[in-house]
Structures are given as structure tokens and as C-alpha cells.
Amino acid sequence: MIDKTVYENPDDASDTLTLYITKPTVQFDEAEVLKLDGVKLDSLRSYLGSFSASALKNTVLANQGVLEISLDGKDLKLVHKVHFFFDASDRWSA
């Protein structure tokens, strides 16, 4: 997230709208990722960030939401919406 702004209805202070400004990049659930044996979060960020958004999405969707990779000598099985999200809107959408 780059920033967020809260707009308040001038006629009703309980009526608010929050605008989130985000960069379209892979998002991680760091707690879930760190449960994987020996994963280095910085390496994972760099690796997944090297894919175009469409290539990553197509690969993951073609494999039923799973991305299996080898990174830093470890075989990892990453699950979409458990370990990572395609972007902030994917993460926070209802």
C-alpha cells in the first residue's frame, strides 16, 4: 500500500469512505509464507516480481491455484490466497 485517505461525509461523520492507493504487485501473507521451511521472503519477492502480472496469473490459474517453484535450494508449494495474492485488489476483495 502506498497510502490511504479517509473521506468523511460532511453531513454525517459516521459515513466514511476509505481510498487505498496501491502498487499493482504481488502481495504476501508473510505469516503464512514464513511457515514454509527455510523460505527467504526477500528472495521470494524478487522471484515472483520478475514475472509479468499476466504470466504469473495464467501460470497459477492453470495449476489450480498452486505455484511450485525451487528457490534458494528449497522446493516450495505456494497457494494463491494462502501464501500470496496477485495484487492488493485480489487480497482485499470480498
pLDDT digits (tens, 9 = 90+) for 35-79: 998 888 999 999 998 999 899 999 999 999 999 999 988 899 999
Give pLDDT, residue 92.
Answer: 79
Tell me the pTM: 0.74
Q: How many domains does the chain have?
A: 1
45 part of a folded domain: yes
The total of other beta-carbon atoms located within 10 Å of residue 86's CB is 20
3-state secondary structure 43-73: HHHHHHHCCCHHHHHHHHHHCCCEEEEEECC
In this structure, what DSSP letter does residue 80 have?
Answer: B
Q: Which domain holds residue 54?
A: 25-92
Report the distance separating Cα 61 and Cα 44, nearest Å.
19
16 part of a folded domain: no
Give pLDDT, residue 81.
Answer: 95
59 part of a folded domain: yes
5 part of a folded domain: no
Give pLDDT, residue 1.
Answer: 67
Residue type, 51: F
20 part of a folded domain: no
64 Cβ contact list (under 8 Å, min separation 6): none
